[in-house]
Chain A
Amino acid sequence: MPLGVDGSAADGEARCASVISVIAKHDVLVVGAGCAGMRAAIEAYDAGADVAMISKLHPTRSHSGAAEGGINAALGNAAEDNAEIHAYDTVKGSDYLGDQDAIEVFAEEAPGDIIQLENWGAFFSRREDGKLAQRPFGAAGSPRTVYAADITGHVLIQVLWEQVCKRDIPVYEEFFAWQLVEHEDRCQGVICWDLLHGGLKTVGGKTVVLATGGAGRQYRVTTNAYACTGDGMAMALHAGLPLKDMEFMQFHPTTLYPTGILLTEGIRGEGGYLINKDGERFMKHYAPNALELASRDVVSRSEQTEIDEGRGIEGSVLLDMRHLGAERIIERLPGSRELSMVYAGIDPIYDPVPVRPGAHYHMGGIETDNDGATEMTGLYAAGECACVSIHGANRLGGNSLMETITFGRRAGRSAAEWALSHTTVEVPESAERDAEARLRDLLDREGGERPWKLRDELGSSMLENFAVFRREEQMARQIEIIEGLRERYPNVYVEDKGEVFNSDLTQAIELGNMLDTALCMVTAGLVRKESRGAHARPHDYPTRDDENFLHHSITRWKDGGVELTKSEVRFTKWEPQERTY
């Protein structure tokens, strides 16, 4: 195919991209190869299943690797601690929306999971006595965040990838998962676009575990990688599955200005201050006990208030580490220092760094039980794309990495156990023809709008209308905006008509996924007339309303739009209390 001016084929004919083949069948298919996906695959393998992973990136490129500050478990190395305190901190952090039975399981099993990772060779930071070090993190009653300087995610990705290599688990790498295969009331595989070589390819699986992460790219200012576009959540949504608590999007308080790149909570854990333009440590007004280490939603709101009330600098506040000294910064926070220097041109040893809240983590996601099973037989989910719910309305720092491991493991095992007790897997032709038609539709379009326009409009409008503080009129407007974008989406065209590494195509698909999941988020947010956790409505509903809204929101896709219902929060020990830090 001769290279035309824009790389398109000279003849413009439909090419063999449309030939689909079921290229393999496995017991367990894990979609997504970050911490949750790799941990699930490892467990499925160890349970005796024939497992394979599908990932649109090489596994070590997954966004779990960008996590910095640490991973929580009640090891009790730094101070007295136990699973009950960890569970309580998590329940309170969730603003009482988290499912307490799941949280208890989580806090109970976390220590064993961390030890296992360490025994596998994870490179964690150490205490004087040689045990795993644990640092203080937001809203934690005891310092329990195990860490590796400030590159914890990187270390976890490396050890998990090593264990995947040890087991020689096959990875369908740079395969973009597009559509779930549902047949005879079971999920039986995934239809993918082979990004590297081209072509629609179906992989059959007796069970499928979705571990595809979040969708931070819906927002213009986000810590998330380009790849975080909510593909798994969208696939589940389109297959009729419920998404739970979608309105709860965590804004991380310390993202660099202007890029949104993450600066870890660990900086505050090491003693860093947040100051406004007057040099004041403003957190004393909002969280007099915990100060900078209050829960993330509290800190983000505090910062946003300072900024909105004119005490910020260029839409940001300042993160000040100078008093920690060069030695400590270089030893414990070298990654953060490098990020500041490269992306903000500031050396935190000498100057404070401008930071502001940025979209960071989806508390909500695909509804699962405590073993990662979804409503659809054979379909499981774990990690950020799932909602068990551990995090309720707000997540504690360090809990999401732990969730990927604990629930990745549980989902992997339960998927493997189910798969090993069933024998058949079948992919009907109709599913494949469906996907082929969608592909042709996208590729054959000439002229229209380029995806970046809609992507930018989504990103800016979400940041304006559905960020830290939410208002009725803005949310209503945002729903209209998203609907408008969804109307324009069928006219988006892909310039690259080629087969090999057509990321133009995959980026267009990702845009569609973001639009649909965003609609779920804002629809649920508008209806929740209270302030809870990360959903803050200080202008109309400033307090929590346990009487009317102590439930999860459930959004489903029905007739091309969002259907909203609710589900119960599961309580065990803790009654909702007033939440202060």
Chain B
Amino acid sequence: MQVGLKIWRYDSATGDRALREYEIEAPEEATLLDCLDIVKDRHDGTLAYRKSCRMMICGSCGMRMDGAAVLACKTRMYDIAQEGRVPVISAMGNLPIVKDLVVDMDPFWSKFKAMWPWLEPGYDRPDDGREYRISQERMNVVHKEALCINCGCCVSECNAMESDPEFLGPQALAKGMRFVGDPRDGATVERLERYNREHGIWDCTRCYFCNERCPKGVDPRDAIAKLGAESIRLGIDRDMGAKHAKWFVRSAETTGWLREEELIPKTQGYVSAIKQLKFGASLARHGKVRPVPIPHVARDVDEARNLRKVVQEQDRAGALGIVQGERALARLAHGGGSESLEEIYARPGSAPRPFLPGEGSAEGQGSLTQADVTPGKEPTRKRGEA
């Protein structure tokens, strides 16, 4: 089949960049990686990209296709070629580009290493010199986090990291959760203290790009939520983000509806909130907040209050509250047990599988020349820059 590709070529030393178009002949089963090989072998040997396993396990070939990070070896080109689409291929985001599609992974690995990414054994080692005895169910608390192949697709798209480059990021934090949730690790509290610092857990903006882009189903956003849940469960909750989250809980069990007007002082502290007075006043002028907060209490709120007491006594505290839903949610990707995929999707409220290129309405409008896609160009403007 005929495949057209537009590839952003980039030389980090000179800053030269060019969008080159290539037309190639490729077999029908070809992936994006196969097409890049054909380009490099037969058209332009200077094209630089990483590859190794070509079976979605080594994590080498992360790159952007039309601004969205993918594994080149996982991306089949058939549908795209049939549609006559010519995708734009560029390097992953949030990492400095070395050449063409090769990024500098040093910042990525240094954040990884900052997580203490190795088991810190506790004092309860098996005394017979054999393996720890752990149930599969207990290990499965982190089975998604253990799938991570360090490809960088999540990091590439992280909105929080784009705005704050020092944010540890989805990959590192998911790795952190892999150890926090491992029963053999004895350093849970120390880990959570570290992950709760600036640029840690509470920096996540919950854009869910990481979950969307991850080619292995790690769901880093959920790993971060698990870390937050464990932190709060263990009383590591001094960060403003934790306070923010706890205020939602307090609101739900007292008034039902969020006590919005108190959110900022409860998050930032009453002293800091004074700095927000002018801001608060402008909101008050437009009726968005009232000068004196009168709780807006939902009907039957005692049910919500009692509900919290009931669930707290059960054994699903912390991250287990998220883990308990994983089996059901995995069925959305897997298509369920005995039901066929068609049967699952025919159920009311069920979701179609994640979109592959070429699916969905042809009416969709997407921007192919995003600032973020163009290498060497300044990424979308940061705060404070005129």
Contacts and interface: CB of A to CB of B under 8 A. Distances in A.
Interface of A: 1-3, 6-8, 57-58, 60-63, 65-66, 114-115, 118-121, 123-126, 128-132, 151, 153-155, 158, 162-163, 165-166, 196, 225-227, 258-259, 261-262, 326-327, 330, 334-335, 338-339, 342-343, 347, 349-350, 450-452, 494-496, 498, 500-504
A495 B42 CA distance: 10
B53 A500 contact: no
B317 interface: no
Given A196-B98, A495-B44, A121 B182 contact: yes
B14 A3 contact: yes
Given A126-B136, A495-B46, A132 B131 contact: yes
B136 A501 contact: no
Given A225-B54, A258-B29, A165 B131 contact: no
Which among B49, B56, B58 has the greatest number of chain A C-beta atoms within 10 A? B58
Contact of B42 (A61, A131, A452): A452
B295 to A, nearest CB: 47
Interface of B: 9, 11-14, 16-18, 29, 40-42, 44-60, 74, 76, 98-100, 102, 105, 109, 112-113, 117-119, 121, 125-126, 129-136, 139, 142-143, 146-147, 149-150, 179, 182, 184-185, 330, 334-338, 340
B376 to A, nearest CB: 11
Given A163-B118, A501-B98, A66 B57 contact: yes
A121 B44 contact: no
Nearest to A60: B150
Given A1-B14, A495-B46, A261 B118 contact: no
Given A2-B16, A115-B131, A130-B134, A342 B74 contact: yes
B15 to A, nearest CB: 10
Contacts of A501: 48, 98-100, 102
A349 B339 CA distance: 11
A256 to B, nearest CB: 9
A123 B49 CA distance: 31
A262 B55 contact: yes
Which among B16, B42, B49, B131 has the greatest number of chain A C-beta atoms within 10 A? B131
Given A154-B149, A226-B54, A501-B99, A57 B41 contact: no
Nearest to A164: B118
Given A225-B54, A500-B13, A259 B29 contact: yes
A153 to B, nearest CB: 8
Given A130-B133, A261-B54, A495-B44, 14 more contacts: A2-B16, A3-B16, A3-B18, A7-B44, A58-B60, A66-B53, A119-B132, A119-B184, A121-B182, A162-B117, A165-B112, A338-B56, A342-B74, A500-B13
B45 A495 contact: yes
A154 B132 contact: no
A227 B58 CA distance: 11
7 contacts: A57-B58, A65-B58, A123-B142, A129-B133, A226-B52, A450-B42, A503-B49
Contacts of B11: 1, 3, 7, 500
Given A65-B57, A154-B149, A163-B118, A225 B52 contact: yes
A60 B131 contact: no
Contacts of A57: 52, 58, 60
Nearest to B49: A503
Contacts of A58: 60, 105, 109
A225 B76 contact: no
A494 B119 CA distance: 45
Given A7-B9, A66-B58, A165-B113, A452 B46 contact: no
Given A3-B11, A495-B46, A339 B56 contact: yes
A126 B134 CA distance: 7
B146 A6 contact: no
A369 B350 CA distance: 60
B99 A500 contact: yes
A538 to B, nearest CB: 32
A450 B42 CA distance: 8
B119 A120 contact: yes
A357 B109 CA distance: 37
Contact of A155 (B130, B135, B146): B146
Contacts of B100: 501
A57 to B, nearest CB: 6
> Nearest 3 pairs between A and B by C-beta?
A7-B46, A495-B45, A121-B119
Contact of A126 (B42, B112, B130, B135): B135
A161 to B, nearest CB: 8
A347 to B, nearest CB: 8
Given A1-B11, A2-B16, A450 B41 contact: yes
A65 B118 contact: no
Nearest to B125: A119
A154 B130 contact: no
B46 A496 contact: yes
B56 A225 contact: no
A151 B57 contact: yes
A262 B47 CA distance: 28
Nearest to A497: B46
Given A6-B46, A450-B41, A60 B337 contact: no
